[in-house]
Amino acid sequence: MNIDPLGSDAPAIVYIDVKSPYAYLAVAPTRELERELGVRFDWRPFVLDIPSYLGTARLGKDGEVVEDNRSAEQWSGVKYAYYDCRRYARLRGLTIRGTEKIWDTNLVATAMLWARRHGYAAVQRFLDAVLPPFWVRELDVESEGVLASALDAIDLDGAAFIGWAHDAGLAQNARFQADAFAAGIFGVPTYVVGEERYFGREHLPRVRWQLQGGEGAAPDIANTLPAAVPGQPAPPATLTVGVDATLDSALGLPRLLELLQGYRGRVNWVRVAPRKPPALPPEGDVSRAAMHKRWRVRNQAANTRRYAPQATSLQDATAMIAKTLAEHGIRLADSGPDQVVHAAMPGIVVLAEDELFIGRQHLPLLAARLGVAFEQ
């Protein structure tokens, strides 16, 4: 089996890893888009090498950290990621429990390739068989016996899979993973549509737009919500908005201001100090970690091209922010809540009482929390 990492007869390719909560959250909205457009995407496994960019850690049975080589910044990013994923999971009735270790998902990726040999419907049954139990700590994806039983339960012959895995499957998966990473697939979920690669489910609005012919204005990023959003608590009385000198703030600020026109609470505006940009590794460094950083930088450049072709530098983003703030008579304070000032990652930040949103992709959910309309 020799699969082109970026090519397919399907209208789009979707890369996921079972151990990624963001990939888990992407399954439902991606399926919704398939149904809306009447198409079937090409679903493929991608094995994240998390230690190469987020360090490693292992938890004990009671949730205490028993092994750890992560920096404070890495831990901050990991904690926010689970916080973020759990609130979106609740919207769809899903459960996401923090994993006790960084799982080796090569075997389960090979099992997904096995399911893929049996067709689209088999892949969907496979995802439904492994993802929910894995995220409640009831499925050992490193166990051959456990995966064989899971495959048997969906009529995919677990014993035959184990034989194929040892004979050819694991080696094929290793080649497939290497080829995908070399082609620029570095995270999940990633969508490949034509010549474009989109990392993150927040790009689904643009994926839809591209698949529908790319006519009219392209939509911005957004985490799409389920058609029926569960009842929301009363809108918060106060918001704190943190603005940093990034493209995310430049693009998110005008849309946030439109959203706030329907909000009747108090808004505090805070300046977020610029974060040091990641240093690119030396050209001669071809390690996995170095290549990962390069792919991320290229992904950021691609997003600028897609969503803000007029912004070619940090100075452009800063000027866009200053212009928007001046037009609305907003002055940024130099201090505020620590959650805002020391956000886990770059981007516009909103603290709705005690709920934190980092990045403009959260505006649909923030609108739901505020009880105001949001137009994509």
115 closest CA partner among 145, 180, 146, 160: 160
Q: Quote the pLDDT of residue 338.
A: 87
Q: Is 164 helix (H, G, I), strand (E, B) or coil?
A: helix
Model confidence at 339: pLDDT above 90: no
Structure-token pair, residue 114: 């096995």
Which of 79, 83, 89 lies closest to 29, judged by CA?
Answer: 89
Contacts of 226 by beta carbon, 8 Å cutoff, 6+ apart: 28, 91, 92
- In this predicted structure, what is the pLDDT of residue 341? 84
Is residue 326 over pLDDT 80? yes
Q: Band of the pLDDT at 191, cuts 50, 70, 90? A: very high
Task: Map out the domains of the chain as residue ranges.
Answer: 13-202, 238-370
Q: What is the distance between the alpha carbons of residues 120 and 227, in angstroms, rounded to a whole number?
A: 25
Q: How far apart are CA 98 and CA 281, in angstroms?
A: 31
Q: Which has more confidence, 246 or 72?
A: 246
pLDDT: is 340 or 118 the higher one?
A: 118
pTM above 0.75, yes or no: yes
Q: What is the pLDDT of residues 48-105, one digit of tens each?
A: 998 876 554 444 454 454 444 545 556 566 789 999 999 999 999 999 999 889 999 9
Q: Which two tokens stand for residue 276?
A: 């040091």
* pLDDT score, position 310: 81
CATH fold for domain 13-202:
Glutaredoxin (3.40.30)
